[in-house]
Structure 1
Amino acid sequence: MPRTWLTERFGLDVPLVGAPMASVGDGRLAAAVSSAGALGMIGVPASAPGSWIAEQAAVAAASGRPYGIGLMAWALPGHPDQLAAALEARPALVSVSFGDFTPYVQPLRDAGITVAVQAGTTREALQAEAAGADVVVARGGEGGGHGRDEVATLPLLQGVLEEVTVPVLAAGGIATARGLAAALAAGAAGGWAGTAFLGCAETLLSEAARARVLATEETGTAYGRVFDVAQRLAWPPEFGGRALRNAFFGRWEGREEELAGDEAAREELAAARAAGDFDTAYVYAGQGVGLVKGAGEGVRTAADVVTAFAAADELLRRF
């Protein structure tokens, strides 16, 4: 594999970060991705206590390899123990994104932690650089989970690479070796991939949710605020979520104001999540979901996915 800022900084074999996915990727997935030669991350749910971060960090650290923690900036004012726990854990990388990240960058850097910020526009990338971020993640609208849907990955990556001087990682639709090779050829220091790992055994997804992921084609996702509004989550409105399209989303898309006051709909979603009914409950995934494959009769592992990404080296050698 080509040596980049990312591989040199963290001693990786593959220039790839397993994106932090709240309620999907805990310490087990982070450890598996890191052990395979990439950099795994723990996705911290908005309401997780600092003790949960400490527990999962211990699991990830047991791999003996560098790992990271992903924090949501908008949630930190109400959960300062999350930042404290991340500082105490001293991971190699902390991502702090989605909201006002500026107060948190320098304390993390002062602790010797590399700081990443996910940016959905070139302006946001410049703000991240000005705040002192060590690396910017150019996250296009194709990405799964929460983020902006204003610019697609390829034009965003080009714009960010032109404007910032810190290293840049590409996110959103980076699901195979071809996507990683394209990002590296454009000048990115590596890829940032979440959806590619959704079919793995080490995630927190149920078998039913994993089956939905594997059965979904590239056009099967939808972006919006339906699931956040239904749950009364305080996500800033500019950061919607991309998930597998289902009946609940289709019913409420465009009716979010009405949904915000519908208690029956809130209860319906909560019950569906508990029951594993994914015609109503959500599975966050990006447009790369159509590229997520199974493993014959078995379930793919994080190591399988990282190994597949490593084929980017061969693709780049063709030029």
Structure 2
Amino acid sequence: MPNRDNSTHSTFAQQQGHFDLPARLELTEPVINAPMAGAAGGSLAAAVSASGGLGMLGIGSSASPDWISEQSGLARAPGRAWGAGLMAWVLEESLEPLRLLLRERPDLVSVSFGDPGPAAELIRDAGALCAMQVGNAADLERALQPDIDVIICRGGEGGGHGRNDVATLPLLQLALAATGKPVVAAGGISGPTGVAAALAAGAQAAWVGTRFAASDESLSHDHVKRAIAEAGLDDTVFTRAFDIAQGIPWPAEFGGRALRNAFSDQWASDEDRLSAAVAGDASITATVDAARRNGDVSTAPVYAGQSAAGSASHESAADIIADLAGFRGHLRAAVDRWN
């Protein structure tokens, strides 16, 4: 596994400012699976890492200590670099999930959706790299501070929770012009051409979520995986409706991009009315919760980005990494074309 000398890491990151992220983590492929809560467990992280990428766990707000320990054990089993993602707004209540994770010695920890606050110091003191997902210029300004090692530029086309303020490419260009820190491109990347585009622009790695959410190793329900694989480019919606319905206290600025379904068609454009309806009728929450458990994709949120059109059913994580590794041919072709 990569060198984990706690005494030198913070000095290295702060004084150097920029470094080769894939080299530091000993990656053979510049691909990171997004830490999707409910989809990215230890088996997916292990499969991605074993295939040369960086496998990430998604630690949700309800993750138990036993779950964190068990899934971390799976993630580190290949003996390669691995990481995890947590939500800053959850850590404002308690840093205990992070402390539990750090005992498992991840190599990179992403803290996003709010200010990382003291979490960043804890991560770096533990010898791990601290990453932050950014979705607009204000987020980027925060990520430029010295306690953040890696910046993940996630555009509004990405699946799951985040901002819908700007697309990936403008945000990526802004970040690359502003810093020498490692920058990772996220949002809308599903194939080797997308990875090639991100790397050609200057990103050090591609952060891929939706395609891995439909993979064999994903924790997602089989019905969810099938829905993602069958989705088209125009089949998503950005909304807070699913969070409102479930009573999940996501900050209002972070909605979620999901596949359109009967529930979102009814409520996505009228979130105020939905809030009032949920306050007066507990059955709405119960119905959506049951739909999630049962994989009822007509009602449950199926978080996926616009890149869902590039996903397929019955793909292993290793197969996905092998396909994404085709970025090299696209980069060579581009260079040959213009030389």
| TM-score for the superposition, normalised by structure 1 | 0.95
In structure 1, the residue matched to 2:191 is 176
Matches within 5 A, 1:141-290: 141-260=156-275, 261=279, 262-290=281-309
Amino acid at match of 2:311: V
Answering whether residue 36 of structure 2 is matched by residue 21 of structure 1, we say yes
- How far apart are 1:274 and its partner, in Å? 2.7
Extract unaligned runs of 5+ from structure 1: none
Answering whether residue 130 of structure 2 is matched by residue 115 of structure 1, we say yes
Q: State how far apart, in whole Å, the 1-side matches of 2:124 and 2:319 are.
A: 33
- 71-80 or 28-37: bigger deviation: 71-80
- 148-157 or 205-214: bigger deviation: 205-214
Q: State how far apart, in whole Å, the 1-side matches of 2:257 and 2:127 are.
A: 33
Q: Kindly provide the CA deviation profile for residues 215-237 of structure 1, in whole angstroms up to 9, marking residues without a partner as x.
A: 11011111010000001111111
Q: Kindly provide the CA deviation profile for residues 118-171 of structure 1, in whole angstroms up to 9, marking residues without a partner as x.
A: 000133122112151111000100111000000001111111111123110000
Secondary structure in 2 matching 1:29: helix
The alignment of Structure 1 onto Structure 2 pairs a total of residues equal to 312
Q: State how far apart, in whole Å, the 1-side matches of 2:233 and 2:300 are.
A: 19
Q: Kindly provide the CA deviation profile for residues 65-93 of structure 1, in whole angstroms up to 9, marking residues without a partner as x.
A: 11001111100133432011122111011
Amino acid at match of 2:326: A
Q: State how far apart, in whole Å, the 2-side matches of 1:87 and 1:40 are.
A: 16
Q: State how far apart, in whole Å, the 2-side matches of 1:166 and 1:102 are.
A: 19
Secondary structure in 2 matching 1:78: coil
Q: State how far apart, in whole Å, the 2-side matches of 1:207 and 1:56 are.
A: 20
Among candidates 136, 139, 142, match of residue 127 of structure 1: 142
Identity of aligned residues (%): 46
In structure 2, the residue matched to 1:76 is 91
Contact 1:126/1:163 (8 A) holds in 2: no
- How far apart are 1:28 and its partner, in Å? 0.6
Secondary structure in 1 matching 2:130: strand
Secondary structure in 1 matching 2:62: coil
Amino acid at match of 1:272: A
Q: State how far apart, in whole Å, the 1-side matches of 2:71 and 2:272 are.
A: 37
Secondary structure in 1 matching 2:21: helix
Secondary structure in 1 matching 2:103: helix
- How far apart are 1:6 and its partner, in Å? 2.4
- How far apart are 1:254 and its partner, in Å? 2.6
Q: Kindly provide the CA deviation profile for residues 263-290 of structure 1, in whole angstroms up to 9, marking residues without a partner as x.
A: 2321221222233211001110011000
Extract unaligned runs of 5+ from structure 2: 1-18
Contact 1:27/1:42 (8 A) holds in 2: yes
In structure 2, the residue matched to 1:291 is 310
Q: State how far apart, in whole Å, the 1-side matches of 2:59 and 2:152 are.
A: 18
Contact 2:95/2:119 (8 A) holds in 1: no
Secondary structure in 1 matching 2:79: coil
- 270-279 or 52-61: bigger deviation: 270-279
Answering whether residue 119 of structure 2 is matched by residue 104 of structure 1, we say yes
Q: State how far apart, in whole Å, the 2-side matches of 1:59 and 1:148 are.
A: 31
In structure 1, the residue matched to 2:53 is 38
Q: Kindly provide the CA deviation profile for residues 161-204 of structure 1, in whole angstroms up to 9, marking residues without a partner as x.
A: 11123110000001111011001111111111111212211001
Contact 1:50/1:84 (8 A) holds in 2: no
Secondary structure in 2 matching 1:42: strand
Among candidates 77, 81, 100, match of residue 85 of structure 1: 100
- How far apart are 1:317 and its partner, in Å? 1.2
Amino acid at match of 2:300: A
**Cα RMSD for the two superposed structures:** 1.3
Answering whether residue 46 of structure 2 is matched by residue 47 of structure 1, we say no
Contact 2:40/2:213 (8 A) holds in 1: no
